[in-house]
Structure 1
Amino acid sequence: MKKLPEVTLAFWIMKIAATTLGETAGDLFAQTLKLGYFLTTMALFLIFVVTLVVQLRSASYNPFFYWTVILSTSMAGTTISDFMNRDASAKFLSDGSTSLGWGPQGLGLGYPAGAAILISILLAIFLVWKLSGMTFQIRDIVTFRGEALFWSAILVSNTLGTSMGDFLSDSSGLGYAGGALLVTGALVVLVVLMKMPAVSNVLLFWIAFVLTRPLGATAGDFLTKPVAKGGLDLGTAGSSAVLLAILFGLMAYAHVQEGKAATPCSTTPPTSQGSV
């Protein structure tokens, strides 16, 4: 039975919506509610594990189960990245705060070091995946081991994408709009490369999966950050609520479409040879 969705335009729209919501929701818990990166990461990682168990136990593809795991990896990836890269220095805090929530404030590795570590982990996952002999084709992943490797790569990919998005928005000088435009340009290049038979579509999928995360991260920051910093200052709570409604609407649409695809057409007239 198929466990994962077809990779279509609708897939990528939902992916960007989920990762943007992951950015705003992660910031809502860690920063707005001041739970801190450490405590929020622990809570969101637990949510990820719960949603993953539901997905793994499902006998077939269910859009609500699948996209809930994508959302949980996006939220957890946001705070994991922040915890790795940030600390309690003034540039990461606001309003004269000296701390953010309970527990360690962050490792302070910085975006380049954090990204290098995450890239190494992601490559290690792909190496294990390759040595296992299991397929990289998303539509053909149906085993528990295959799904476990897939979701491990997804979690690390979303965390890596967060680091890249924060670097583009905060440290590169491009700002939120500039970072989003750069990532969008890179995605357009990937679309062009899809037309070239010599380039692996599986490789392009994973590059696109990583790149859509910083696009969501910069879009989320653009929605929530103050106007003085180049954002719209809509707030993490309001932005998260709107994005959640959009994502659930898309999930409901995907569920209906999946049901239509699974229902055999009853109006097709039989042929002279009889129906198969």
Structure 2
Amino acid sequence: MAKNPSLSVKITNAQRIFTKVPEITVYFWITKVLTTGMGEVFSDYLVKHINPLIAVALTGIALVASLVLQFSARRYVAWIYWLVVVMVSIFGTMAADVVHVALGIPYLVSTTFFAVVLAIIFVIWYAMEKTLSIHSIYTLHREVFYWATVLGTFALGTAAGDMTASTMHLGYFSSGVLFAVLLAIPALGYWFFGVNEIFAFWFAYIMTRPVGASFSDWISVSHSRNGLGLGEGPVSLFMTIIIVVLVGYLSVTRKDIKNEPAAS
């Protein structure tokens, strides 16, 4: 039986309408790196200025509230989506720090642990949904797997960045350069050598965390720690302003929503 072109178009349009994530554009990567940097320094700012347990609790509540908004929305809404990413960034940073500071687990061990957890999430996601594509996030199951994966990438990236900066004694700036190079590898592989799109995306996505976190730490920490010494508070505020302006721009222009569905 011949396929019905009209039906195929309607199915494709429906998937676009109900997709819950943005298209992968340069705006996506810029905003993603900014949220990782902001989450890193703001997390440090919170735990230094209020009780760490209270900070974790408040951040956890805010994360749950943002996820409720995200799951309640019927399609991608820029400010809701990026609010969740910011909260995941802050909470993921705290989770990785708690594992190291509160439990005394070395960064190498925590990095390995989060890598295994992330791999398990990928395996279960693929076994149940048969795809790991970001373009397929238009069902509840896939959205749950997507955000679990995002949280895992933030925790892994935080632990990996701290491991290279502290355990391997590279410092924040050198760590940022290292992970920036690693971030470029899948991008170049995809553009010039035909590396699998899904693998390239998730590899780059993981690398954005230590890139943003390492450079934001370098900008904020004191000179005694080989940083620029601008402070967590001012750096957090500056990055938050940029994120708000950028997300507002995307909300108005819809430049992160490609291929609007055709009229029926």
TM-score bucket (shorter structure): 0.7 to 0.9
Which residue in the other structure is 1:46 paired with? Answer: 61
Distance 1:13 1:155 in 2: 19
Native 8 Å contact 1:168 1:174 kept in 2: yes
Residues 1:26 and 1:184: Cα distance change in structure 2 (over 3 Å)? same
Counterpart in 1 of 2:227?
231
* Aligned mate of 1:221, from 217, 221, 231: 217
Distance change in 2, residues 1:152/1:263 (3 Å): closer
Aligned equivalents of 1:263, 1:21: Cα separation in 2: 31
Aligned residues: 245
Q: In the alignment, does 2:99 pair up with 1:84?
A: yes
Sequence identity, in percent? 27
Q: Which amino acid aligns with 2:136?
A: D
Q: CA deviation at 1:34?
A: 4.1
2:137 is the counterpart of 1:141: yes
Unaligned runs of 5+ residues in structure 2 are 1-17
Letter in 2 for 1:47: A
Q: Which residue of 2 aligns with 1:64?
A: 79
Show the counterpart of 2:170.
174
Provide the rounded CA distance (Å) in 1 between the counterparts of 2:36 and 2:222.
20
- Find the structure with the greater CA-based Rg: 1
Q: Structure 1 residues 258 and 228, CA, compared in 2 at 3 Å: closer, same or farther?
A: same
- 1:200-237, CA deviations, whole angstroms, 9 ceiling, x for partnerless residues? 11111111111110011111211211012111111111
For 1:138 and 1:78, how far apart are their aligned partners in 2?
23
- 1:134–1:146 Cα contact (<8 Å) kept: no
1:2, CA displacement in angstroms? 2.0
Cα deviation for residue 114 of structure 1 reads 0.5
- Alpha carbons of structure 1 residues 138 and 260: separation in structure 2 relative to 1, 3 Å: closer
Distance 1:166 1:131, change over 3 A: same
TM-score, normalized by length of structure 1? Answer: 0.84
RMSD over aligned Cα atoms: 2.0
- 1:30 alignment counterpart: 47
2:147 aligns with 151
> CA, structure 1 residues 60+223, in 2 after alignment: closer, same or farther (shift >3 Å)?
same
Q: Give the TM-score normalised by the residue count of structure 2.
A: 0.87
TM-superposed deviation, 1:198: 5.0
Offset, 1:156: 1.0
Matches within 5 A, 1:1-276: 1-31=18-48, 33-36=49-52, 38-86=53-101, 106-195=102-191, 198-258=194-254
| Higher fraction of helix | 2
